[in-house]
Amino acid sequence: MRTTYNCLQEFISRLEQAGELLRIKQPVSPILEITEIADRFIKKEGQALLFENVNGYEAPVLINAYGSLKRMCLALGVEDLAEIAADIQSMLDISPPENLRDKLSILSKLFSFTKFSPRLIKSKTPACQEVVLTGDDIDLYKLPILQCWPKDGGRFITFPVVFTKSFETGRRNVGMYRMQVYDKKTTGMHWHIHKDGAANYHEYKTAGKRMPVAVAIGTEPAVTFAATAPMPPGLDELLLAGFIRKKNVELVKCKTIELEVPATAEYVLEGYVDLEESRIEGPFGDHTGYYSAAAPYPVFHLTALTHRRKPVYFTTIVGKPPMEDCFMAQATATIFLPLLRTQYPEIVDMDLPQAGAFHNCTIMSIKKRYPYQARKLMSALWGMGQLSFSKMLLITDDDMDIHDYKLVVRQLLDKLDPRQDLLFSEGVLDVLDHSAPQPLYGSKLGLDLTRRMPGEFKQRDKKATAKNLPTIEALLAGIPHIIDAQLPFPDTRLKLLLTAIDKSRPFQAREAATAIWRNDPSACIDIILVLDGGGDLHDLSYVAWKMFNNVNPNCDITFYKNGQILIDVTRKYKQEGRHRDWPEEIKPDRDTVNKVDSYRIKNRLAD
């Protein structure tokens, strides 16, 4: 029997029963302090946090509710996320009927899916409209909305479930787009150009009609998750939510616009987007771990603000991974794998490493049947939906545990033939990718780690492991601007050297690599990866995060004539072909860090 929740507060009770919730009574500020505390818990997979004493506000703040795979399972009411994937697989396993029994079986499956469609209810006072504010009574500043990071452009609503409809078809879309608060009644609406909400916006703009928008904050977990899901165009996200929870999502009509919203939401913002108005939104400390730049976006005007009598403000933060959204991404990869297999049945498993910040790295294992199948799949995925934004795509055989990242890297360094196993391409990139010379478009890299089969390039002779591998000291001799170096896998066939430099001029990474190879006459080091100083080279997740963010493959991977490879992970100058400003890495405010240190908030995982 699947656990379902009628509202967010029922989920909070379930978290507490499971020992997954920490109530914090210490007075805190929503300006930077909640973020600093939450970030510490998230990084250690600590509990969900309910801040009960937010300075100047009555409503408590819930954060990190989805910050572990266990809590994602609790949120979606299952013991294992694979249960939901199995339900989807069962719906997809429909063969042509051969008799009446088969036809009845198909009808039964289709009915079991459609019976969970959202349902409009009539209620004199639904929970989400126990308090109704209009006109001058609307005041977003009465909500404990966070400023997450020191250089953010302001306060942002980070967990909004945004409801729009297509002007042409009337179909509902439910998405999640951050919203910067401008004043008591207006916010930004951060629609990326590839999102369905933006497509609806352009339909209204073409028709010259004002666009109604509703925003629910604090919905029950399946609805919040569905708003982030990569649904095929035209399918209602609330149908997915109902299918997950095995129960209809109940909706009520808004008070001032012609849209419907979840009846049990904590808060609902009703209003419209003016099609001729835009305003600068940002900067914002984003899920890449860097600030996304300020840019013009549409403006959302509130016509009503409704809420429960005693609402909980539900929020999240994003930044340098791991973050709470990483676990939502892992859930998405598991749940939607059956849909991906309908088009590419060779796929066995998929992983989105947290260090890849969603789109920067995808790992897949396949059951390979014919030559160059991995390359065919790479090309197909780079043209498919959200996976088209994958900058680095690594494909292995089906007997590889792709969730063991150290094993994957070892296999890469043992098996890779850099002259044959790399596929470079170009295409669309996520709008947050800053590594490419221009926005939204750049190079991509595919790595084929599958075993050779007849008809493919022959594997070149393996290089023998060097017996006299130079010491780190010998490799760095006479190179003053290198401040650290590590050889993380000295026993693999290809030798990878991680280095950090104090970069002060263009092309300094190339200078460093050239100097190191001069100190390596036996050519023991095959790959040099150069980063900026300031991080821990022993922390391979940090190294991976930097590499996935900062490398534009065609520009930043250099092959030398003797087969050696430089991967330049450093911040780039405009002279190095980057004509855009390089974004700033998110770092906490020192005064806030010191203040939070004094609070001594501890628990079993985060002390």
Residues marked active site are found at 286
Q: What is the distance between the alpha carbons of residues 544 and 483, in angstroms, rounded to a whole number? A: 19
Instruction: Give yes or no for a contact between 454 and 371, defined as CB atoms under 8 angstroms apart.
Output: yes
Cα gap 287→189, rounded to integer Å: 17
Query: If we measure between CA atoms, which residue out of 153, 250, 168, 265 comes closest to residue 215?
Result: 265
* Signed CA dihedral, 101, 102, 103, 104: sign only: positive
Hey, which bits of 533-572 come out as E strands?
557-559, 565-568
For residue 591, give every residue at least 6 positions away whose Cβ sits within 8 Å of its Cβ, in sequence order, or none: none
Question: What length does the chain have?
Answer: 607
* Residues contacting 246, CB < 8 A, separation 6+: 2, 4, 116
User: Would the CA dihedral through 155, 158, 161, 166 be positive or negative?
Assistant: positive
Coil, strand or helix at 238: helix
Q: What is the sign, positive or negative, of the torsion defined by CA atoms of 423, 426, 429, 433?
A: positive
- Nearest residue to 604 (alpha-carbon basis) of 14, 13, 19: 19
**Cα separation of 393 and 423, whole Å?**
10
Could you say which DSSP state residue 147 is in? B
Continuous segment of H or E residues that includes residue 107: helix 100-114
